[in-house]
Amino acid sequence: MKLEQKDRSLLFSETTIPDIFFSEYLAELSGDSLKIYMYILFLSKYGKDIKVNDLSKKLNIPLKTLNDSMKKLEELGLITKKTTGYIITDLQELTLHNLYTPNLTMSKEKVERTAKNKTRAKAIEHINNMYFQGIMGPSWYNDIDLWFNKYGFDEQVMIALFDYCYNRSAMHRNYVQTVAEAWASNNVKTWNDLDKYYEKQETLNKYKKLIAKKLGKHGGLTQYEEAYIENWVLNFGYDMDIIEIALRRTTYKQNPTFEYINNIITDWHERNLKTPEEVNAFIEQRKKQSKNVKELKAQVNKDSYEQRNYENLDFLYANNQQHA
């Protein structure tokens, strides 16, 4: 017995998208990328062949934007490029494969650790309910577990990481990863570490605004200028008292650049000057040395002038002797 299903007309047919797409991929796509994905998903049901130029015109998307979007869809694994076109990925099959492919070297250890770590499980569940409305995609669980192990975050820091990204409307995997790496590079592991990091960042932002105001940069600082300030504060350990001394020295120069200020501050750091008192003492010493050099030059010029006059007088005296 052969069973057949009658072909449905376009009016009554549907294009289905698995829920895993909304929880795992939607936030990563731009409006144009989403538009392209949905349309090629629709076309794939009918085995249609369409040229890139025609697709660009059909969707009213510039050709460059379309090509960039197709590359993005490839990067996310939503489509796979072939010599003759593209294959639309079966997202449910892909997710199932990623989740349940056995990892024989660590699966037992992972199960034991997860069973023991009830606090971590509660933190992940809180993240799911608070920031994903209880429908967090399966791959996020793997990512969170990876970040716990890679960065050594405690549960409070992990929750704070998602809270930070959620409040900035940036719940993208790459963005969360970038923030996590920034925190880890600043040795953030515990809530206390994170609190100190926030204090440092708050101080840094205050310094940036203050320096921009003092230098008359009402349009704000460039990325490179901010990098200079971050280096002075985070790497050199200088506070505003020392930076203020350097800023005052720009009054002696027309159109001073950040590079000029950076050269002054870097020189102080290389001389191991750590306090405003040490910096001011060094400046006074330089002034004194400069004054001594000027006085020495003046004395040399004076002696040279007097010597020349003496020689001139000898010359005149010699001439008078000859005339006599």
Domain ranges of the chain: 19-94, 104-189, 194-274, 278-324
Spatial separation of the C-alpha atoms in residues 295 and 289, rounded to whole Å: 10
Q: How many residues does the chain have?
A: 324
Percent of all residues in the chain with a pLDDT value above 90, rounded to a whole number: 36
SS3 257: coil
Q: Which residues of 136-173 are buried (b: 16+ CB within 10 A; e: fewer)?
A: bbebbeeebbebbeebebbbebbbbbbebbeeeeeeeb
Q: What is 171-214 written as a DSSP string?
A: --HHHHHHHHHHHHHTT--SHHHHHHHHHHHHHHHHHHHHHHHH
User: What pTM was computed for the model?
Assistant: 0.53
State mean pLDDT over 133-150: 87
Q: What is residue 308's predicted lDDT score, i.e. its pLDDT?
A: 57
- Determine how many CB atoms are found less than 10 A away from the CB of residue 113: 14
Q: What is residue 176's predicted lDDT score, i.e. its pLDDT?
A: 94
Q: Are 140 and 171 in contact (CB under 8 A)?
A: no
Spatial separation of the C-alpha atoms in residues 279 and 93, rounded to whole Å: 66
State mean pLDDT over 207-215: 91
State mean pLDDT over 90-110: 58
Q: What is residue 34's predicted lDDT score, i.e. its pLDDT?
A: 92
pLDDT at 322 over 70: no
**CATH code, residues 194-274:** 1.10.10
Q: Would you identify the CATH topology of the domain 19-94? A: Arc Repressor Mutant, subunit A (1.10.10)
pLDDT at 99 over 90: no
Q: What is residue 46's predicted lDDT score, i.e. its pLDDT?
A: 75
Question: What type of residue is 275?
Answer: T
pLDDT at 158 over 70: yes
Tell me, yes or no, if the two domains 19-94 and 104-189 fold the same way.
yes
Spatial separation of the C-alpha atoms in residues 32 and 66, rounded to whole Å: 8
Position of tokens 């090509």?
A: 67
* Sign of the C-alpha dihedral computed for residues 90, 96, 99 and 105 taken in this order: negative
Which ranges in 76-190 belong to alpha helices (H)?
91-100, 107-116, 118-131, 138-151, 155-167, 173-185
Spatial separation of the C-alpha atoms in residues 322 and 324, rounded to whole Å: 5
pLDDT at 310 over 60: no
Q: Which two tokens stand for residue 291?
A: 């004054």
Q: Would you identify the CATH topology of the domain 104-189? A: Arc Repressor Mutant, subunit A (1.10.10)
Spatial separation of the C-alpha atoms in residues 77 and 28, rounded to whole Å: 12
pLDDT at 252 over 80: no
Spatial separation of the C-alpha atoms in residues 34 and 39, rounded to whole Å: 9
Spatial separation of the C-alpha atoms in residues 50 and 70, rounded to whole Å: 14
The helix-helix angle for 138-151 and 155-167 (nearest 10°) equals: 120
pLDDT at 295 over 70: no
User: Phi, psi (5° rounding) for residue 121?
Assistant: -60, -40
